[in-house]
Structure 1
Amino acid sequence: MKRQVVTLAVMAMVASSTAIGVQAGQAPGAAADPDVRISHRDRVYAAEQFSNTVSVTDPTDNRLLGVIRLGEPQPANFSPLYRGQVLVHGMGFSPDHKTLAVVSIGSNSVTFIDTATNAVKHTTYVGRSPHEAFFTPDGKEVWVTVRGEDYVAVLDGATFEEKSRIQVPGGPGMQIFSPDGTYGYVCSSFNPETVVISVADHRIVGRVKQESPFCPNIAATPDGRQVWFTLKDVGRTMVFEAQPPFSVLKTLDTGPITNHVNFAWTPQGSFAYVTVGGLNEVKVFRTDDFSPVGTIPTGNLPHGVWPSGDGSRIYVGLENSDALAVIDTATNQVVATIPIGQAPQALVYVPNAVPDGDGTSGLQPLGVAGQATHIVLAPVRGGTAPTSVSLFDQGLTQILQASVAGLEPRKPYVLALASHPDGTGVVEPLSAFMTNPAGSAIVNATGPIRQIVQGREPAQRRYLMVVPGTATDMGPPVQVQVE
């Protein structure tokens, strides 16, 4: 009798484990999809904004295989005859895992890439400043949010040509679909409203009020019950019902420069991973009761996030570290950091992207795309606000990107150069900016800045700092360069 009890218990455990495996499909698939164990056939792709590349990583041994070069760095891309892509940023993939859709903001394009050969199959040009693109679950359409205008461009999933447009509130930030393909969810980066669209007839069937107008990212849980979206300017993440009446379920305070969100389904449950750029962290929440599970330090300015095909790993693009962080979902710790291209934005994990061969055809080494200088600014009066600065090499010049945090909300500031380390002496403004409601900002500039801030001649050396005010009326420094 005792042996029978043990046998029944073991059978129950096996049945439970089997059920978890079946109900553990990873986003953007359905929960009923089977998990796909990590293998050499899988790939992690990241869209890199300042090197204009797509990095290709083998997740089995966390090894960068190379990059797909879609464009050139400055100053080549200044030419009126330039034909490459500029500001490679958004990314999606087809349901059969054979095609990447890569959005370049500066050249208004969607580039379609064969995952097996890394070859460009087609480039479609759309409206002003597109942001993200994704295939519908049946693969028949590709929806592209044209953030610089007020519509979603609908492309044919086979020819990649634009066939129609869906009018939405101005500044659509991103779209994602319910796992069954019934709804498309489109958040806005310029207006405080997310719309729900019927995929069958392209009609708006629901509206969700955003707590701020700046949503860069949206994701649907594989069980088809919830939609999560991030609000970058106020540092929050909102959750609403994926089915009518699309009611708001929860608003979470996640932190300054809240970037992307995605999900991992594991034997321990379903979890949301949110990248918080201003804190250099990924925050983890349960999706059943929204309780916080953990905070994971990653590296500078975490941005894109995507799970492996079995939910055992989460991959995070580190925008100001030029790297890919790998998180073990069983321990919620970073287990690897992989150098990739400059300023990774969106990323995707594509199981079985390369069914045959080594999948390295057409890839190029990082080259200048792997060259950057990283600097930290610290508060003058103490504090822990992690303001990071990256200088992305473009040959003789660099693109500067500062992830500024810890300032007063909605106030004018200037990123400037000073002749003395404490921010005194001769002061030259680089870039004026306004902080968002969370007291943070992403600030850009360009020029031979590395040669100035790391110069060996004391008379020519300059130091980065942040000061309150405007370019013509600057106050004393509040943050200064420490490394």
Structure 2
Amino acid sequence: MLIVGNAQAGTVSFIDSRTFEVLGTLDAIPDLQQRLDAMNPIERIGYDIVNQQQGYKKFVDDIALSPDGKTLYVSRGNLADAVAYDVATKRQLWRFKIDGFKADHAAISPDGSKFIVSALSSEKDQVIDTRTGTLVASFPTGTYPHANDYSPDNSVLYNSSIGNVGLPKALNLLKGKRQLTAVNPQTWQVTRTYQLDYGIRPALFMPDNKTMYAQLSYLNGLVEYDLQAGRIVRTVQLPFSAKAAAMSPDDYPQNSAHHGMAYSGDRICAAGTIDDYTVLLSRPALGVLGYVNYPTDSLPYWATTSVDGKYCFVSLSKANSISVIDYATAKQVASIPVGNFPQRERLGQLSEAAVRALG
């Protein structure tokens, strides 16, 4: 199953990742008015400020399915909470209020027992027990914690921070800590931090536990980062589209020029957000293998590899669709319509009861 969070619609699309058939959707904000009514004045001010800074309301930020395929976990961005739903009955099982004003990227532990959510305005990650919806741990991060990624062997959890994206590029030094935080996922203790000059956007962690490929704020491309030495060893600059070349960096969405990465074997799939293309690169040479170009303002904004490794799924946020790219040919082979402003995509499997309930 490919599950897609439709950020502005507040829904989650369930897609058969082999046939590309949309099996159904789940409303992740049935309690929206209740949540808005329950906000105190400070929370409502924070809600409005986050909406204004983003330029839109992001109700679904990140998503995950339980290993048994019965439960959906959602980080509900501007509502600053995390919730769990029984997919078959669509019943909300629990709700956890995230510290601060925005719940950001999340990750589920390999055994499904923990849901880790970035508390964006509080400079911390919060670890939630998926059975009870209660807090079990938290750890400090950089400024505006963003992505949470397990290393391929699950020995490390990495949190990437992007810094204060509300400040212009000219004030980059004032954006706070643009930091990669390495955490022991057994003890939730920070084991190492890495400081970067620019915010860390989507990143890929390689099986050697030594290499990270990352997109950075304002960079039209990506970097290769040595995790042992703690330094950038290569920077790949990719071409600007005519539209992107005319843009001011302060007009990039949340400071990101390129936002979305996935890989399969020796190939990297990278979303060129402001350029309206997806590029496939060879690994480790990082040479360009091909481009898939989209209509202007499609806003490719996330990428995920199919479970069989054959395809790269790219969210086209302003086109309300998922572009399916064949890794072997670097060609688009399908387009899947989804909800309003798809962004985060995750893999999982659904129980038979959940599939039947989706209709």
Task: Classify the TM-score, shorter chain.
Answer: 0.7 to 0.9
Which residue in 2 is equivalent to 1:189?
A: 162
Q: How many residues align?
A: 310
**Deviation digits for residues 405-444 of structure 1 (CA, Å, limit 9, x no counterpart):** xxxxxxxxxxxxxxxxxxxxxxxxxxxxxxxxxxxxxxxx
Cα distance in 1 for partners of 2:350, 2:334 equals 22
Aligned to 2:80: 108
* 1:78–1:348 Cα change, 3 Å: closer
Three-state SS of the structure 2 residue aligned to 1:250 is strand
Hey, what does 2:117 align to over in structure 1?
A: 144
Aligned pair in 2 of structure 1 residues 236, 208: CA closer, same or farther (>3 Å)?
farther
Q: Which residue of 2 aligns with 1:80?
A: 37
Tell me how far apart the structure 1 counterparts of residues 331 and 91 of structure 2 sit (CA, whole Å).
35
Counterpart in the other structure of 1:198: 184
The answer to whether the 8 Å contact 1:273/1:283 transfers is yes
- Which residue does the alignment assign to 1:159? 132
Aligned CA RMSD, in angstroms, stands at 2.8
Structure 1 residues 342 and 229: alpha-carbon distance in aligned structure 2, compared to 1, 3 A threshold = same
Question: Could you tell me how far 1:96 is from its partner in structure 2?
Answer: 5.5
1:252 paired residue number = 236
Change (3 A) 1:291 1:139: same
Distance between the aligned counterparts of 2:124 and 2:217, measured in 1?
A: 21
Structure holding more helix per residue: 2
> Match for residue 289 of structure 1?
285
Note if contact 1:86-1:105 (Cα within 8 Å) is conserved in structure 2. Answer: yes
Q: Which residue of 2 aligns with 1:67?
A: 25
Following the alignment from structure 2 to structure 1, what is the Cα–Cα distance between the partners of residues 341 and 154?
Answer: 32
96 and 79 in structure 1: CA distance in 2 versus 1, 3 angstrom threshold? closer
Q: CA deviation at 1:119?
A: 5.1
TM-score by length of 2: 0.77
Structure-2 change in CA distance of 1:317 and 1:86 (3 Å): closer
Closer, same or farther in 2 for the Cα pair 1:99/1:230, shift >3 Å? farther
CA separation in 1, counterparts of 2:302 and 2:31? 22
Radius of gyration: which is bigger?
A: 1
> What amino acid is the match of 2:282?
R
* Letter in structure 1 aligned against 2:224: V
What is the CA–CA distance in structure 1 between the aligned matches of 2:70 and 2:319, rounded to whole Å?
Answer: 29
Separation in structure 2 between the aligned mates of residue 47 and residue 196 of structure 1, nearest angstrom: 26
Contact 1:241 1:247 in 2 (8 A): yes
In 2: Cα distance, 1:211 partner to 1:283 partner: 25
After superposition, where does 1:49-448 map in structure 2 within 5 Å?
Answer: 49-71=7-29, 80=37, 87-94=59-66, 99-114=71-86, 120-127=92-99, 128-190=101-163, 191-213=177-199, 215-222=200-207, 224-242=209-227, 244-254=228-238, 257-265=257-265, 270-299=266-295, 300-350=298-348, 353-356=349-352, 359-362=355-358
Distance 1:276 1:136 in 2: 29
State the partner residue of 1:425: none
| Distance verdict in 2 for CA 1:118–1:238, change over 3 Å | farther
Using the aligned pairs only, state the percent identity.
18
Residues 253-310 of structure 1: CA distance to partner in whole angstroms, max 9, x if unpaired? 2466211111113xxxx21111111111111222322222222224511112111111
Q: Is the 8 A contact 1:102 1:112 kept in 2?
A: yes
In 2: Cα distance, 1:323 partner to 1:97 partner: 24
Work out the CA distance in 1 between the residues paired with 2:191 and 2:226: 14
CA spacing shift, 1:153–1:357, aligned 2, 3 Å: closer
Q: 1:99/1:211 Cα in 2 relative to 1: closer, same or farther (>3 Å)?
A: farther
Q: Please state how far the C-alpha of 1:170 moved relative to its aligned partner.
A: 1.9
Instruction: Determine if contact 1:118/1:362 at 8 Å carries over to the other structure.
Output: no
Task: Tell me what 2:167 maps to.
Answer: none
Distance 1:139 1:355 in 2: 15
Conservation of the 8 A alpha-carbon contact between 1:93 and 1:99: yes
Q: Which amino acid aligns with 2:191?
A: V
SS of 2:122 mapped into structure 1? coil
* Distance of 2:149 and 2:305 partners within structure 1: 16
What is the deviation of 1:120? 4.0
- Alignment CA distance shift 1:94-1:65 (3 Å): closer
- In structure 2, C-alpha distance between the alignment counterparts of 1:180 and 1:209, rounded to whole Å: 23
- What secondary structure does 1:106 align onto? helix
- How far apart are the structure 2 equivalents of 1:253 and 1:73? 44
Unaligned runs of 5+ in 1: 1-42, 364-483
CA distance in 1: counterparts of 2:217 and 2:141, whole angstroms: 20
Q: CA deviation at 1:362?
A: 4.8
User: Equivalent residue of 1:237, what SS?
Assistant: strand
Distance in structure 1 (CA, Å) of the matches to 2:191 and 2:229: 9
C-alpha displacement at 1:124, in angstroms? Answer: 2.0
Call closer, same or farther: CA 1:249–1:56 in 2, change over 3 Å: same
Q: Quick check: 2:299–2:319 contact (8 Å CA) kept in 1?
A: yes
**Structure 1 CA distance for aligned equivalents of residues 208 and 133 of structure 2:** 29
Distance in 1 between residues matched to 2:112 and 2:204, nearest whole Å: 18
Q: What amino acid sits opposite 1:188 in the alignment?
A: S
Q: 1:349 to 1:118 in 2, by over 3 A?
A: farther
For 1:130, the aligned partner's letter is A
2:294, 2:210 → 1: CA distance?
A: 29
The 2-side partners of 1:309 and 1:271 are apart by: 15
Matched residue SS, 1:359:
helix
Give the 3 Å change call, closer, same or farther, for CA 143–72 of structure 1 in structure 2.
closer
Q: Decide whether aligned partners of structure 1 residues 296 and 339 sit closer, same or farther in structure 2, where only a CA change above 3 A counts.
A: same
Please tell me whether the aligned partners of residues 196 and 205 of structure 1 are also in contact (alpha carbons under 8 angstroms). Answer: yes
